[in-house]
Amino acid sequence: MRQSTRDVEQVLPSRTDGSHPDQVRSGFSSLPPRPTGEDPHGLLVAGIDLGSTNVKLLVTERYGDAVLQLQAPTPWTTAGSRTEMPGKTLTGAVRALLHEADAVLEPQRRRVGAIAITGMGESGVLVGPDNVELTPAIAWFDGRGEAEIHAFPEAVRREFSGRTGLPLGSQVTVAKLAWFAAHGVDLAGAIWLNLPEFLAWSLGAEPVAELSLVSRTGLLNQDTSAPWPAMLDALGVGPAILPRLVEAGTPLGKARDLPPAFRAALLTVAGHDHLVAAEAAGHVGVDTYHVSLGTAEVLLRVIDKPLGRAARERLAGYLINEVHHIVPGKRVLVAGLKTGLLLSRAMHAIGVHDRAARAELDRAVVALGPLAEGDPGPVTASGARNDDGELRLTFTADGARPEHVFRAVLEHSNDEIRRLIHAMDAELPPATSAILTGGWIGMRSVVDARAEVLPHLTVSDRAQETAYGATRSAARLLDVTATP
């Protein structure tokens, strides 16, 4: 990796101060300062993160200190290229985690006062008018719907990115809806619930459409924040396919039929997982890049207002989205790479399968030192684009070692980050700082790589940034409902 002059700081603060009256009314606010004495409510809060790989449950004190953390594999079923799960299977997995947590909390007479749910976008469940699940949840990375979106009217395909802020592809929800319709599912009278909304509804909440999650569907016009009529017509549905549109953090009722420690807890949807992670330590400023590096790597930039159709079309050419943020009135630019997937595949290819071997590899990559300008090294890599994900390695010289392979993936992903930043900077003033989170930040070589391309980098110390962000949404919910 090339020599960096960036500053890298550890660690992000765990709590935020201050509040804003408008945010409180909409269900989103900063937490009040920690009191000097005991929390007068004595209640815990819980965040549930529906991840692509694992479902996480984090319980904290109201002011942020962790109490317990549990996780279980996301219960997908895979057959060939298809990946899906029934909604009730997901709900069952979450209820099992809640019962496991209750076994710890109930003997201590601890109670959870609020639960906030976050998770992946694009995936969800169609629910019929009789509250019956009509479809399983298809994974966002499942390619079904690719053929169906090519059958959309030409005007819809042409205007899609400018209207919705998303590139048109099989990942967006409308592709799944079109696939369901083509395979005999009657969409009339059904409602679409993204997975965090579906889980909240399954636990007792009102069925709603949270704006940051609906922004991932392709159903929403980003300029009007309402369903896009032309897209609805292409699917043969009306606006009622989406329940009531709400901001992240809106109170949605109380949980039903949960174990004692969670009984009657307030429920809310915290929003899209990457945005929740970005806000975990306080509001991300408009001059900051937030980068979350897990299986996917997401580069996020907060903006004050929509950029307009022309800008959205230009950004879509780089697979950059402009959508609703979880903070009311704010929007975000969201760009994705498959960096973590490529890093994982590289490690498996070179025989790194446990923590000790990973730590040894990390030290070896750091010891290589920076590459000279213009020197690609003995290995080059490709495949990190969000529409790719196939790791391809080219060996250009003899003597390549495992650390050269891993570094090649980091160099390639750095080049992709530079490309995305260049596209964003063409629409906005360049950001002056950056925050790095996610599961890969435990490797010094990864942090060093990102310090080359991100300005004044700060690194989080939390392994579960998204679940923690959800607990902050739950804590705000307690604060809002306690306000006269």
Residue 23 domain-assigned? no
Structure tokens at 483: 């306000």
Residues 216, 91, single domain; the answer is yes
pLDDT at 369: 81
Residues 226, 331, single domain; the answer is no
Cα–Cα distance measured from residue 421 to residue 3, given in angstroms and rounded to the nearest whole number: 19
Residues 258, 290, single domain; the answer is no
Residues 57, 81, single domain; the answer is yes
Mean pLDDT of 56-76: 95
Number of domains in the chain: 2
Q: Does pLDDT of 212 surpass 60?
A: yes
pLDDT at 1: 60
Residue 21 domain-assigned? no
Residues 184, 46, single domain; the answer is yes
Residue 305 domain-assigned? yes
pLDDT at 141: 87
How does pLDDT run across 187-204, given as a tens digit for each residue?
999 999 999 999 999 999
pTM metric for this prediction: 0.86
How does pLDDT run across 225-270, given as a tens digit for each residue?
999 999 999 999 999 999 999 999 999 999 999 999 999 999 999 9
How does pLDDT run across 145-186, given as a tens digit for each residue?
999 999 999 999 999 999 999 999 999 999 999 999 999 999
Lowest-confidence region among 79-93, 293-307, 402-416: 293-307
Residue 241 domain-assigned? yes
Residue 265 domain-assigned? yes
Name the residue with higher pLDDT: 3 or 327.
Answer: 327
pLDDT at 223: 93
How does pLDDT run across 424-473, given as a tens digit for each residue?
999 999 999 999 988 899 999 999 999 999 999 999 877 788 999 999 99
Residues 471, 432, single domain; the answer is no
Residue 469 domain-assigned? yes
How does pLDDT run across 8-63, given as a tens digit for each residue?
554 443 333 332 222 222 333 334 444 444 454 489 999 999 998 899 999 999 98
Q: 295 falls in which pLDDT band (50, 70, 90)?
A: confident
Residue 430 domain-assigned? yes
Q: Does pLDDT of 363 surpass 90?
A: yes
Q: Does pLDDT of 386 surpass 90?
A: no
pLDDT at 273: 93
Name the residue with higher pLDDT: 2 or 398.
Answer: 398
pLDDT at 385: 93
Domain that holds residue 376: 1-13+282-459
Residues 325, 414, single domain; the answer is yes
Residues 245, 156, single domain; the answer is yes
pLDDT at 465: 86
User: What CATH code is carried by the domain that includes residue 258?
Assistant: 3.30.420.40
pLDDT at 439: 84
Residues 295, 439, single domain; the answer is yes
Residue 46 domain-assigned? yes
Nearest by Cα to 429 from 309, 308, 289: 289
Residues 261, 327, single domain; the answer is no
Residues 288, 415, single domain; the answer is yes
pLDDT at 8: 56
Residues 347, 438, single domain; the answer is yes
